[in-house]
């Protein structure tokens, strides 16, 4: 243990370097995923045109970071004022899109994605790779803070263990480079908690300001961070009430005074938070007419609902004032997210396709996608903590339970705050109406890593005076650490599609759940390489060693001139396949030839209810793919 302490900076640096290299390698191999097609052009438009009309349902911070490298790439201009997709009047004209004006801004962002990525002779691979680069550094920042906070709570070696749980998690590696909000919101929520706890323990004005700044950065990463406002407010008051004043005459007056002071200073930090929000929204909306914000609000919020009327009225009022216009855009996005969550989404899960959320979705996905060593550690540390808490409760008289609660709030505020957030956020996710993927649980993972690492090393400390038991426990920790390292090593590069052995591994996880848990469009670039390699091997008569694998494909040894592609993702099949690409859909009658089907589309089509006589992919049910590209694209050949 002493050696690990001395080598802590080097070991942490090694973890971060390996994480960086692996993230860059995987990023280079993967095509643009579904959500990136909207986020990348949005980020570029923000920093290039100071206008947030594209993808306003997410705050600008992370998209700004992704957009900055694109200024140096200088892709061909895609958003001139004459573009009908950019013009507010044209893009909001009823009838321009089949779904009407309420959906036009959502549709326009995908069209802009094609323009910046795949048109004007732009290099989609280069644009995607460099836009992802800042996201990796946000991921590294989160890992550093996990180490830092765990070290403060349980020591340096515990900090290294907590960092290892994070850096070696295949699910984290999978999303570390994507231009999405998932890792970013996990990072800034965690860091804002860190500085909020520092504020509670030492409510100096310096800590008030720093806490408010990071609270603001969390709001600028994703709108789900609004949950922090009531959580922080509640714990500021509770911690004030629990502060140690038992021996002071008039203790309750002092408690109320402390609660008021902490609550008041927290209110100041919230004010600072909104100043930070306003400061970043100013450059992002500098060239954006207030009328455009108002038009989007009118299109998005239904007038037949009270909430919709309030949202529309608020945004329109603020958009007419140049000083309030940045906050009008902030509240526009916030209200849009509430509307989106209420609307739900269609998803495949355990043999069913539905647009109604299942309470089992996130618990099952967590059990299937989290690594087995991590599940084991969660089970053991949770059981240990629960038994310790129960023992302490039973040993305390009922009349002293309030004092015990006060003591826990005062002395274990960090652990209690983390545990509360894990349970609260899990409840919100389980009862919500968006079953999109495990990535939506990312905000709770850093807290789990810290708590698990702390409890593991708390247990180790209890065995300090028992040499044999201590040695056995240290050995167990070492074995678990090796297993934790081995998992991402063996899983490379199948991180997005990672499932533990219970979930069928990266080859069989799609049988349980798809979408961003398995198939997000990451393998289209690999499909282009597959077709090119196959055609090259045909010309070589499959006699070269590099063709031995493709020679096993049970299909005619003839060039692939056309391949029918039904692709789910953010990339453009024609960009990667050229004239070999033929668009396809499940409602088309099958023909002879080559097919490449995204497994997400295939599973949804096979398991959803169809109208009588409707053409489906049922003809593929009994066919075995002749190849799999990556994990998520199944290649078929129909004679």
Read off the pLDDT of residues 231-251 as tens digits, 9 standing for 90 and up.
999 999 999 988 866 666 667
Kindly tell me if the per-residue pLDDT of 302 is higher than 80: no
Please tell me whether residue 353 adopts helix, strand or coil conformation: strand
Cis peptide before 493 (omega within 30 of 0): yes
Evaluated on CA atoms 440, 113, 535, 544, the torsion sign reads negative
Could you report the per-residue pLDDT of 266-279, keeping only the tens digit for each?
Answer: 999 999 999 999 99
Kindly tell me if the per-residue pLDDT of 343 is higher than 80: no
The closest alpha carbon to 45, from 334, 316, 286, belongs to 286
The mean pLDDT value for 372-395 works out to 93
Mean per-residue pLDDT of the chain: 90
Kindly tell me if the per-residue pLDDT of 598 is higher than 90: yes
Phi, psi of 178 (to 5 degrees): -75, 145
Query: Which residue carries 């209810």 as its tokens?
Result: 609
Round to whole Å and give the CA distance between 549 and 252: 76
Helix intervals (H) in 400-547: 401-411, 413-431, 445-462, 467-491, 505-508, 524-539
Give the list of residues 6+ apart from residue 135 with CB closer than 8 angstroms, or none.
62, 65, 66, 176, 177, 178, 179, 180, 183, 184
The closest alpha carbon to 563, from 582, 536, 589, 586, belongs to 582
Flag the least confident range among 120-124, 338-342, 386-390.
338-342
Looking at residue 371, what is its pLDDT?
97
Looking at residue 194, what is its pLDDT?
98
Give the list of residues 6+ apart from residue 607 with CB closer than 8 angstroms, or none.
348, 351, 352, 353
The mean pLDDT value for 10-17 works out to 97
The mean pLDDT value for 104-114 works out to 69
Q: Which helix (H) or strand (E) holds 597?
A: strand 593-598
Look up residue 148 and give its two tokens: 């830092």
Residues in the chain: 639
The number of beta carbons lying within 10 Å of the beta carbon of residue 579 is: 8
**β-bridge mates for residue 247, sequence order:** none
Burial class (CB in 10 A: 0-12, 13-18, 19+), 639: exposed
Looking at residue 351, what is its pLDDT?
93
Kindly tell me if the per-residue pLDDT of 450 is higher than 50: yes
Round to whole Å and give the CA distance between 158 and 4: 10
The mean pLDDT value for 562-573 works out to 96
Could you report the per-residue pLDDT of 111-124, keeping only the tens digit for each?
Answer: 878 888 888 888 99
Round to whole Å and give the CA distance between 117 and 113: 6
The closest alpha carbon to 285, from 50, 105, 67, belongs to 50
Looking at residue 94, what is its pLDDT?
33
Looking at residue 146, what is its pLDDT?
98
The CA–CA distances, whole Å, from 484 to 379, 451, 477 equal 16, 17, 10
Look up residue 221 and give its two tokens: 């990463």
The mean pLDDT value for 451-457 works out to 96
Round to whole Å and give the CA distance between 214 and 363: 30
Give the list of residues 6+ apart from residue 493 with CB closer than 8 angstroms, or none.
25, 26, 29
Round to whole Å and give the CA distance between 141 and 119: 34
Looking at residue 304, what is its pLDDT?
56
Task: Answer whether 0.95 is exceeded by the pTM.
Answer: no
Kindly tell me if the per-residue pLDDT of 97 is higher than 70: no
The mean pLDDT value for 583-592 works out to 94
pLDDT band, residue 301 (cuts 50/70/90): confident
Burial class (CB in 10 A: 0-12, 13-18, 19+), 590: middle
Asked if 594 and 635 touch (Cβ cutoff 8 Å), the reply is yes
Looking at residue 78, what is its pLDDT?
56
Kindly tell me if the per-residue pLDDT of 80 is higher than 60: no
Please work out, in degrees rounded to the nearest 5, the angle formed at the alpha carbon of residue 233 by the alpha carbons of 229 and 236.
140
pLDDT band, residue 104 (cuts 50/70/90): very low
The mean pLDDT value for 418-431 works out to 94
Round to whole Å and give the CA distance between 221 and 200: 23
Looking at residue 101, what is its pLDDT?
35
Looking at residue 303, what is its pLDDT?
61
pLDDT band, residue 173 (cuts 50/70/90): very high
Burial class (CB in 10 A: 0-12, 13-18, 19+), 464: exposed
Give the list of residues 6+ apart from residue 592 with CB closer than 8 angstroms, or none.
638, 639
Kindly tell me if the per-residue pLDDT of 103 is higher than 80: no
Looking at residue 60, what is its pLDDT?
96
Kindly tell me if the per-residue pLDDT of 313 is higher than 60: yes
Looking at residue 324, what is its pLDDT?
95
CA 552 from chain center: how many Å?
A: 38
| DSSP secondary structure of 135-197 | HHHHHHHHHHHHHHHHHHHH-HHHHHHHHHHHHT-HHHHHHTTSSSSHHHHHHHHHHHHHHHH
Kindly tell me if the per-residue pLDDT of 203 is higher than 80: yes
The mean pLDDT value for 586-609 works out to 95
**β-bridge mates for residue 564, sequence order:** 582, 595
| HSE toward the beta carbon, residue 622, CA cutoff 13 A | 1
Kindly tell me if the per-residue pLDDT of 483 is higher than 80: yes
């Amino acid at each position: 243990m002493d050696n690990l302490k001395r080598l802590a900076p080097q070991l942490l640096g090694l973890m971060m370097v390996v994480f960086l290299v692996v993230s860059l390698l995987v990023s280079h191999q993967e095509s643009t995923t579904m959500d990136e097609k909207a986020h990348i052009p949005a980020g570029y438009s923000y920093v290039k045109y100071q206008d947030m009309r594209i993808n306003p349902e997410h705050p600008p911070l992370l998209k700004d970071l992704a957009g900055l490298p694109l200024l140096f790439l200088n892709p061909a201009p895609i958003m001139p004022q004459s573009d009908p997709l950019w013009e507010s009047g044209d893009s909001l004209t009823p009838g321009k899109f089949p779904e009407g004006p309420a959906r036009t801004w959502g549709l326009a962002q995908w069209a802009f994605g094609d323009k910046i990525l795949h048109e004007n002779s732009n290099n989609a691979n280069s644009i995607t790779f460099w836009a992802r680069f800042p996201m990796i550094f946000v991921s590294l920042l989160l890992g550093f803070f996990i180490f830092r906070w765990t070290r403060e709570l349980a020591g340096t070696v515990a900090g290294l263990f907590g960092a290892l749980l994070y850096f070696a998690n295949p699910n984290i590696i999978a999303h570390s480079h994507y231009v999405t909000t998932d890792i970013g919101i996990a990072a800034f929520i965690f860091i804002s908690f860190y500085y909020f706890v520092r504020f509670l323990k030492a409510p100096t004005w310096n800590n008030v300001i720093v806490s408010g700044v990071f609270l603001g950065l969390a709001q600028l990463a994703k709108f789900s961070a609004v949950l922090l406002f009531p959580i922080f407010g509640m714990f500021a008051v509770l911690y004030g009430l629990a502060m140690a004043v038992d021996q002071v005459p008039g203790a309750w007056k002092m408690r109320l005074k402390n609660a008021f002071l902490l609550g008041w200073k927290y209110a100041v930090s919230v004010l600072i938070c909104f100043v930070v929000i306003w400061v970043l929204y100013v450059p992002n909306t500098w060239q954006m007419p207030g009328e455009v914000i108002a038009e989007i609000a009118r299109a998005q919020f239904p007038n037949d609902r009270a909430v919709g009327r309030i949202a529309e009225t608020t945004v329109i009022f603020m958009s007419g004032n140049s000083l309030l216009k940045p906050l009008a855009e902030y509240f526009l996005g916030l209200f849009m997210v509430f509307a989106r969550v209420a609307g739900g989404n269609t998803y495949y899960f355990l043999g069913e396709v539905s647009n109604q959320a299942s309470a089992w979705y996130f618990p099952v996905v967590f059990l299937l996608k989290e690594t087995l060593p991590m599940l084991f550690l969660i089970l053991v540390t949770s059981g240990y903590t629960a038994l310790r808490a129960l023992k302490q409760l039973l040993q305390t008289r009922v009349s002293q339970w309030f004092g015990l609660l006060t003591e826990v709030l005062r002395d274990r505020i960090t652990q209690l705050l983390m545990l509360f957030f894990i349970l609260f956020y899990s409840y919100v996710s389980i009862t919500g109406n968006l079953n999109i993927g495990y990535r939506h649980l990312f905000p709770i993972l850093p807290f789990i890593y810290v708590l698990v690492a702390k409890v593991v090393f708390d247990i180790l400390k209890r065995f300090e005076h028992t040499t044999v038991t201590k040695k056995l426990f240290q050995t167990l920790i070492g074995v678990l650490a090796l297993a934790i390292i081995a998992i991402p090593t063996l899983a490379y590069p199948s991180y997005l599609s990672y499932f533990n052995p219970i979930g069928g591994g990266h080859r069989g996880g799609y049988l349980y759940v798809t979408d961003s848990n398995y198939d997000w469009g990451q393998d289209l670039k690999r499909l282009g390489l597959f077709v090119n390699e196959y055609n090259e091997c045909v010309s070589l008569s499959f006699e070269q060693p590099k063709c031995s694998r493709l020679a096993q494909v049970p299909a005619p040894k003839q060039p692939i001139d056309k391949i029918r592609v039904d692709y789910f993702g953010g990339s453009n099949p024609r960009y990667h396949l050229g004239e070999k690409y033929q668009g396809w859909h499940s409602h088309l009658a099958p023909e002879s030839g080559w097919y490449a089907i995204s497994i997400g589309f295939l599973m949804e089509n096979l398991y959803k209810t169809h109208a009588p006589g409707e053409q489906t992919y049922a003809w593929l049910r009994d066919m075995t793919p002749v190849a799999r590209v990556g994990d998520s694209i199944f290649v078929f050949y129909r004679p």
